Amino acid sequence: MPPSPQRPALSPVTIAVLQIAAMDVLLGLSWPVIKIGLQGATPVWLAFGRAAISCAASVALLLVLRRLKPPARADWPVVFSMGTFPNALFFALTTVGVTTVPAGRASILSYTVALWMVPLSLLLGEAVGWRRMGGVVVGVAGAFVLMDPWHLDWTDHDVLFGHACLLGAALSWGIALLHARRHAWVGTPLDVLPWQFGITTLWLGLLGFVFEPRGGVSWAVEPVAALIYLGIFAGPVGSWAITSAARVVSPVAISLGVLGAPVVGVAASTLWLGEPVTWPLLAGAALVGAGIVIVVQAGRRG
């Protein structure tokens, strides 16, 4: 009997695409989950609980796999970077932002990562063409439309601060993606997850004591269920997927790929929370998407 032909192994790029798709679904669903969790928790402490559970879950996973060990000395800078920027800052800023911004709109603003790549590239001394600059202009215009400035109460500092937090979250993620891409890895993104989330937990605990000394998380169903989802699924799996993909494909390409997350976020927020789909939301999302596509295409052309 002739041996059955073996299936060809998936290429690293195909695996990276699947990882980004998984991250899109997990993180897209996290937006209405965060909104629900905030019914019984303060923002920073909800983010702290999310990080602590993610740390514990990743430790348990690596213990089962018998791979729990400290990162190599050369990997500590990127471990610190990933624990600080796309985790601690992103978790804190997005959770604070979604308290005053609808979850669907928040999901789009926080994933404008590619638009930040151009100014970050300029700071690193890289050449930036006119097409990429034009893409940034289009994307920024989209972010402005998303804020619905015609109906925004410009005297409400909390709402303005919420929008600023979401844009800052996108910036923090962009910084981490550039670092992860440029870093010469010794270990793997999976092996450093517990240490990465340990740093995140320490940062968020410090922020909680400073900014929310009387805050916390109740034992109500909503925040507990939110923490289980965010801490076990969206946190470790999402972070592992995006960090792993960043080793294979460019940060700008990842920035385009993560556009699936806000699409899932808007759909879930509409169906789950009943948030309206307004013309500023649709027009702004289209402009942001167009700006990111322009930036990515210009980057491919060199």
21: Cβ–Cβ under 8 A, 6 or more apart, which residues? 257, 260
CA distances from 92 to 48, 72, 193, 224 (A): 8, 28, 18, 18
| Domain ranges for the chain | 13-300
* pLDDT of 2 above 70: no
Nearest to 101 by CA among 48, 169, 25, 47: 169
pLDDT band per the 50, 70, 90 thresholds, residue 149: confident
pLDDT (tens digit, 9 = 90+) per residue, 31-63? 899 999 999 999 999 999 999 999 999 999 899
Instruction: Identify the three-state secondary structure at position 22.
Output: helix
The C-alpha atoms of residue 224 and residue 219 are separated, in whole angstroms, by 6
Question: CB count, 10 Å around CB of 290?
Answer: 15
* pLDDT of 69 above 80: yes
User: Would you give the DSSP letter of residue 41?
Assistant: B
User: Would you give the DSSP letter of residue 38?
Assistant: G
pLDDT band per the 50, 70, 90 thresholds, residue 230: very high
- Look up residue 8 and give its two tokens: 């060809």
Instruction: Identify the three-state secondary structure at position 217.
Output: strand
* pLDDT of 199 above 90: yes
Question: CB count, 10 Å around CB of 224?
Answer: 15
In single-letter form, the type of residue at position 275 comes to: E
Bigger pLDDT: 223 vs 282: 223
The C-alpha angle with vertex 28 and arms to 191 and 62, in degrees rounded to 5, equals 15
* pLDDT of 120 above 90: no
